[in-house]
Amino acid sequence: MEIKEKESVVVRFSGDSGDGMQLAGNIFSTVSATVGNSISTFPDYPADIRAPQGSLTGVSGFQVHIGASQVFTPGDQCDVLVAMNAAALKTQYKFAKPDAAIIIDTDSFGPKDLEKAQFKTEDYLGEMGIDPDRVIACPLTTMVKDCLADSGMDVKSMLKCRNMFALGLVCWLFDRDLDVAFNFLKEKFAKKPGVAEANIKVIQAGYDYGHNTHSSVANVYRIETKNKVPGRYMDITGNKATAYGFIAAAEKAGLKLYLGSYPITPATDVLHELSKHKSLGVTTVQCEDEISGCASALGASFAGALAVTSTSGPGICLKSEAMNLAVIMELPLVVLDVQRGGPATGLPTKSEQTDLLQALFGRNGESPMPVIAAASPTDCFDAAYAACKMALEHMTPVILMTDAFVANGSGAFKLPDLAEYPAINPPYVPEELKGTWTPYMRAENGTRYWAVPGRQGFEHILGGLEKDDKTGAISTNPENHDLMTRKRQAKIDAIPVPDLEVLGDKDDAELLIVGFGGTFGHLHAAMYEMRSAGKKVALAHFKFINPLPKNTAEVLKKYPRVVVAEQNMGQLAGWLRMKVDGFVPAQFNQVKGQPFVVAELVENFTQLLNK
């Protein structure tokens, strides 16, 4: 047996959507993170509600990248592919590196399975051009049944443990300590100790199988840990980190957290997560529709809560009316858009960045609204916190953008210490203004004061009709409308945001890569590879999109070549061209519903350099 030391390794678990690949992947990530590896994950669900078993459309995947030092993406292609059935091998093999190890369950490659997966012959490996030496072929289903023969379980329940056998095999391949996996399962199935026990037994069997039979065939990989940042960590998905950011901000601001929401993929996990935490006083209302999700949140905001509504692009279409009301009423509100493929229902489970212009402009009238985009699963926490702080302190709705990739992906999250986060101070109307206060009176930075119902002497009315700047009464005066329009715009423009940071060869880059939101990891990895190849490259990644950082024009104009790379047809590029005179970047646009592939980015960017 050879032990290969590797800097990083990518593992992809794939199988039928009922095969429990997400759970197996999750446990493996946790086990790896626990030993101090850096991790980045990407679950790839089928969109079908329940595609026929064994069919090509029903394949579900979970990819995890584990590294000795920091990894920024789930990886382009995998070093190990687990394919639980013929359809998985057929559809997922394209994600495997040429020398990848492939684990298959030979029991799921019978004539019917091959037919469903549209193989023409029984020589499925030959058909796909796979070298059999790279394949760990085991009768996995049979072995799971044997292993649980004495458990008294029915066959259906036994088969649910197949994923754990694969997990055990992978754990052996990576020399992983099984205790962490065992503890994970004991906790997960605390109320069903029988299930936990069966799963543990099967993991051990998978591990032993690898150890006993395949020690001569496969390599065992070892991922050491380097560049460790000491601290306490947990694995967190983007959606969970977003929910945690909201909770943290509410606590810091001393406000009740209210979420109005309607289920929608891929944002629903935020509703699930927040609904759990009633012991923190979190109030969640699953509304009758997206409209009400946003409208009720605005009502909650008026009544004095930190109000949030969560959705994806189609929901933003419906919420835009109440978002606009929040703009003119100048009330704090955070609108979460977990972007997915569009238009309309589009690709509900896939990831895109195609809502940027909708976020910036998708409302009637002059309706400026801050936009913040999270860069990674763990960054969702900071982005959500920043969105809440901005909304509350500047009395405005704020759009927080994530995407399916960031929302479902996970990373190792260093437990934050709330004491280190900035205070959140909403501009409550000062008591001494009682008697002279009117609703659109502004603090020095142009922000309207907040008078929460319950305070005597500050009774007032807000609404969707234009109001007089001085009295707060309804006004159709043309000069006043022009003035109020400018004041609402100036308030947003004046919101302070951190400067745009340039990574890489910031002084002498020949190419500046520009992106926003969830593509950070891929763009960073592309830059890293190019610099390793001796190229002079820098990366400027936008998290604050409206208002733009003050140094935006300076950064964009500093380098001889600039490419804006985004998962849409050029929305950020267009926005930057609108805001920065004379800025004409090259563009890299891809709208496949899939994350960028680093190798493609490198190839494309290198061509730009050579032009």
**HEC sequence for 551-566:** CHHHHHCCCCEEEEEE
Closer residue to another protein (CB): 457 or 496: 457
- The least CB distance from residue 137 to another protein, in Å, is 33
Q: How far is the CB of 340 from another protein (least distance, A)?
A: 24
Sign of the alpha-carbon dihedral angle for 112, 114, 120, 122: negative
Least distance in angstroms from the C-beta of 605 to another protein = 33
Contacts of 575 (CB under 8 A, 6+ apart): 356, 357, 360, 545
**Nearest to another protein of 344, 419 (CB atom):** 419
Q: Which pairs count as long-range contacts for 139-144, CB under 8 Å and 24+ apart, including other chains?
A: 139/105, 139/106, 139/107, 140/84, 140/105, 140/106, 140/107, 140/108, 140/165, 140/166, 141/105, 141/107, 141/108, 142/107, 143/205, 143/209, 144/202, 144/205
Choice between 414 and 442, CB closer to another protein: 414
The residues with which 373 forms a beta bridge, in sequence order, are 401
Nearer to another protein by Cβ, of 321 and 600: the residue is 321
Q: β-strand 59-67 against 8-16: which pairing, if any?
A: antiparallel
CA distance 290 to 299: 14
- Let me know: does 54 contact 116? Beta carbons within 8 Å: yes
* Cβ closest to another protein, residue 104 vs residue 164: 164
Least Å from the CB of residue 202 to another protein = 21
Nearer to another protein, 283 or 587 (CB): 283
CB of 519 to another protein, least distance (A): 27
Q: What is the DSSP letter of 79?
A: E
Q: What is residue 398's DSSP assignment?
A: E
Shortest separation between residue 555's beta carbon and another protein, angstroms: 33
**264-292: burial string, b at 16+ Cβ within 10 Å, e else:** bbbbbbbbebbbeeeeeebebbebeebbb
CB 322 to another protein: min, Å = 6
Q: How far apart are CA 24 and CA 445, in angstroms?
A: 51
CB nearer another protein, residue 94 or residue 232? 232
DSSP 428: B
Residue 260 beta carbon to another protein: minimum distance, rounded to whole angstroms: 6
Q: How far is CA 487 from CA 204, 482, 492, 493, 514, in A?
A: 66, 9, 9, 10, 31
- Cβ neighbours of residue 78 closer than 8 Å, sequence gap 6 or more: 10, 11, 12, 63, 95, 96, 97, 100
Q: What is the rounded distance in angstroms from the CA atom of residue 406 to the CA atom of residue 379? A: 9
Q: Taking the complex as a whole, how short is the minimal distance between the CB of residue 244 and another protein, in angstroms?
A: 7
Nearest residue (CB) to another protein, 291 versus 441: 291
Least Å distance, CB 329 to another protein, is 7
Question: Considering beta carbons, is residue 197 or 251 the nearer one to another protein?
Answer: 251
Nearest residue (CB) to another protein, 234 versus 609: 234
Residue 250: phi and psi, rounded to 5, are -60, -40
